[in-house]
Amino acid sequence: MPGEFELIARYFQRDLSGAPGVLLGPGDDCALLAAGDGMQLAISVDTSVAGVHFPPDAPASSIGHRALAVNLSDLAAMGATPRWALLALTLPEVDEDWLHGFAAGFHALAERHGIALVGGDVTRGPLSITITVHGELPLVLEDAVHPDSVSRPILRRDGAREGDLVVITGAPGMAHAGLKAWQSGTRDVLDPCLAAYLRPEPRVEAGLALRQLASAGLDVSDGVMGDLAHICRASQLSAALELGELPLAPELMAALGEQGAREAVLNGGDDYELLLTMPEEHLESAINALRPLNLSLSVIGRMQAVEGSEPRVILEQEGVEQAAAGRSWQHFPPADATEVSS
Amino acid sequence: MPGEFELIARYFQRDLSGAPGVLLGPGDDCALLAAGDGMQLAISVDTSVAGVHFPPDAPASSIGHRALAVNLSDLAAMGATPRWALLALTLPEVDEDWLHGFAAGFHALAERHGIALVGGDVTRGPLSITITVHGELPLVLEDAVHPDSVSRPILRRDGAREGDLVVITGAPGMAHAGLKAWQSGTRDVLDPCLAAYLRPEPRVEAGLALRQLASAGLDVSDGVMGDLAHICRASQLSAALELGELPLAPELMAALGEQGAREAVLNGGDDYELLLTMPEEHLESAINALRPLNLSLSVIGRMQAVEGSEPRVILEQEGVEQAAAGRSWQHFPPADATEVSS
């Protein structure tokens, strides 16, 4: 059986000679890296555990893709350019077919986003993948939203202002439906929801395009409700969410029906669209900036001052049946961050 | 039961206002960090899995200490100053007593070495800890060993030269004996070997003190034999190791006898001393540099040209009984890197 070093060499080492800032790649005690002049680093780590974050029987290439996509999504949500990744892979056994597929899925996505695998660790244990990603962004961005605070990046969670629009990229919810489909036995990889689950697209280019137009942002990994609540808390504002304006993909409606589709957008996970706030006057520029990416942007609500004791996400349901609201949204995150009004 | 965010806030968030280069700490999609002017980053990741890398019933504070120590040791082995850490913690359940102990062990070591916990992830699954560490070192070090290549750091594995001494800090092997003691039921934390296992000391200050005196180096996590073989392969040299010169701590001799002690130094793991090569004329400066740290430095061999086909570690056993050599070293790493001669 090949040892750790051989496995790493066989499946994970790539030519890094063209990778920006890589002074020394894998193989020593540390990788040596240098950020560009005037750049700061955005750094994030995420663990994917078999049976918790993905089905253990999912295709290996999808597991490799997803594990990296989750992390790239954090860079996207900061408006950072992907640079370097470290992969800590814990394997119950050495299954070369599985490793081949995993590495193929990982590297295909890594190459597409220009992120270099500069180090890692392969250990024995229950299947689990922890990836640390590093992205770069300018130390000082020209801040069109907050000219009084030019030195901070824009896609933090705490930058939303009263009156800002709440917008979301693409059509979330399909990955949630895809996971349900997988769990109920669907293996048709042409199923659009299943494809959305197995190979989510981190919105890296969208994050870069919008970082100077949005006032706050994050990636939607746990559904719009919970993630919008993070922006509310960090920005000390409430948000009025217009249920009738949620983008519902036809494929999602076909899979789950209208009410299920709305539930998936609000509380489903695994999608990794970007949820942003921005001043209304930036909307047109933002939509135009996403056009070359073939990515839509939907206005789904508005930030407003806190009334009462704490920031909340308030569901506005004009044109949506009361009954739907009454039945569907019982799994909202912390009660103190959510309130249903009409 | 508290959720992920509450757990992180309760056990892992510290005031980072004084931490160098931390522009944004935990709580957003990424941490934002900036290296100092003219500095490069040394980055490493290591996973510790319960039942593989540590006994699941070890004290929680020791698990927290060890998981970070393993990573700090990689920074030490590069001669880097510790700066930032990310902690990905996978837990089978939320045991607040355990978390309290784990965090205490982690933070005590982190504070001692000035490394700031800037991000992380808490997930559910089999107990496993993945830590990513970032250290800084100057982009250009004055290289006393290789004046022809001043731009590279010194504690890489590939810098050894023919005739260089092989030296090692401290007295390795005790942690290996300590693990054996734990496995055989010893719970006396005053046992010096057990203490060495439960709370290994990463040689961060030694790495900083020696990075301009050594030609190559790494940390000894798998025993002198295997780790010296790494230097041999990276530097394309062989090494003659003098068995009679291995530092054998009295506590280790008492625990394992002379032959067992030597075996522990050669093939035992979990110690994290630094194994270095250096020109003979630097030895006195190196010993003096470690004196304030109360850390010894032992000369245990010498680098030599490759004879035959491949770099090897050659065991010189003058004054050591043949029988000992014949019996003890059957677990040597890849045969092509090892050879016993007399």
Find tokens 């082995």 and name the residue: B77
Tokens of A101: 């597929």
Asked whether the beta carbons of B137 and B42 are under 8 A apart, the reply is: yes
A156 found inside a domain = no
Asked whether the beta carbons of B207 and B76 are under 8 A apart, the reply is: yes
Residues A200 and A329 in one domain: yes
> In the listed set A88, A122, A138, which residue is the last one of a domain according to the structure?
A138
What average pLDDT does the segment B153-179 reach? 92
What average pLDDT does the segment B327-342 reach? 33
Residues A202 and A261 in one domain: yes
Residues B306 and B190 in one domain: yes
Q: How far apart are CA B44 and CA B278, in angstroms?
A: 24
Would you state the pLDDT for residue B146? 59
A152 found inside a domain = no
Residues A76 and A15 in one domain: yes
Which chain A residues have a beta carbon less than 8 Å from that of B219? 29
B280 found inside a domain = yes
Q: Which CATH number does the domain housing residue B299 bear?
A: 3.90.650.10
Does the beta carbon of A128 lie under 8 angstroms from any beta carbon of chain B? yes
Burial of B124 (0-12, 13-18, 19+ CB in 10 A): middle
A144 found inside a domain = no
Residues A249 and A100 in one domain: no
Residues A177 and A320 in one domain: yes
Residues B130 and B172 in one domain: no
Closest C-alpha among B15, B10, B16, B25 to residue B103:
B10
- List, for residues B253-289, the tens digit of each pLDDT value: 999 999 999 999 999 988 899 999 999 999 999 999 9
Q: How far apart are CA A228 and CA A210, in angstroms?
A: 17
Does the beta carbon of A218 lie under 8 angstroms from any beta carbon of chain B? yes
For residues B12-25, one letter each, b for 16 or more C-beta atoms within 10 angstroms of the residue's C-beta and e for the rest, the string is beeebeebbbbbbb
Would you state the pLDDT for residue B13? 84
Comparing A148-157, A158-167, B108-117, B228-237, the range with the smallest average pLDDT is A148-157
Would you state the pLDDT for residue A277? 96
| A157 contacts B28? CB cut-off 8 A | yes
Closest C-alpha among B60, B57, B66 to residue B185:
B57
Residues B200 and B279 in one domain: yes
Residues B282 and B133 in one domain: no
Q: How far apart are CA B50 and CA A297, in angstroms?
A: 45
> In the listed set B103, B138, B173, which residue is the last one of a domain according to the structure?
B138
| B130 contacts A130? CB cut-off 8 A | yes
Would you state the pLDDT for residue B311? 94
Comparing A195-199, B199-203, B306-310, the range with the smallest average pLDDT is B306-310
Does the beta carbon of A56 lie under 8 angstroms from any beta carbon of chain B? no
Which chain B residues have a beta carbon less than 8 Å from that of A123? 47, 49, 52-53
Q: Is the pLDDT of residue B336 over 50?
A: no
Would you state the pLDDT for residue B154? 63
Which chain A residues have a beta carbon less than 8 Å from that of B234? 27-28
Chain centroid to Cα A171, Å, comes to 13
- pLDDT band for position B150 (50/70/90)? very low
Mutate to test the interface with A, among B32, B86, B236 (most CBs of A within 10 A): B32
Does the beta carbon of A40 lie under 8 angstroms from any beta carbon of chain B? yes
| B30 contacts A135? CB cut-off 8 A | yes
B159 found inside a domain = no
Question: Annotated binding residue at A270?
Answer: yes
Q: How far is CA A96 from CA A7, A8, A109, B333, in A?
A: 9, 12, 20, 22
Would you state the pLDDT for residue B318? 66
Q: Which CATH number does the domain housing residue B8 bear?
A: 3.30.1330.10
Q: How far apart are CA A301 and CA A293, in angstroms?
A: 23
A185 found inside a domain = yes
Q: Is the pLDDT of residue B4 over 80?
A: no
What average pLDDT does the segment B8-17 reach? 83
Show pLDDT as tens, one digit a residue, over chain A (342 residues): 466 667 777 888 888 888 999 988 888 899 999 998 889 999 999 999 999 999 999 999 999 999 999 999 999 999 999 999 999 999 999 999 999 999 999 999 999 999 999 999 999 999 999 999 999 999 865 555 555 544 455 688 999 999 999 999 999 999 999 999 999 999 998 899 999 999 999 999 999 999 989 999 999 988 999 999 999 999 999 999 999 999 999 999 999 999 999 999 999 988 899 999 999 999 999 999 999 999 999 999 999 999 888 999 999 886 554 333 333 333 333 333 333 332
Domain that holds residue B15: 4-138
Would you state the pLDDT for residue A151? 42
Would you state the pLDDT for residue A9? 76
User: What are the backbone angles phi and psi of residue A71, rounded to the nearest 5°?
Assistant: -80, -40
Does the beta carbon of B128 lie under 8 angstroms from any beta carbon of chain A? yes
Q: How far is CA B217 from CA A4, B22, B148, B316, in A?
A: 20, 29, 19, 21
Residues A239 and A183 in one domain: yes
Task: Name the residue among A43, A78, A158 with its Cβ closest to that of B86.
Answer: A43
Task: Name the residue among A28, A30, A44 with its Cβ closest to that of B30.
Answer: A44
Domain count, chain A: 2
| B156 contacts A45? CB cut-off 8 A | no
Would you state the pLDDT for residue A5? 67
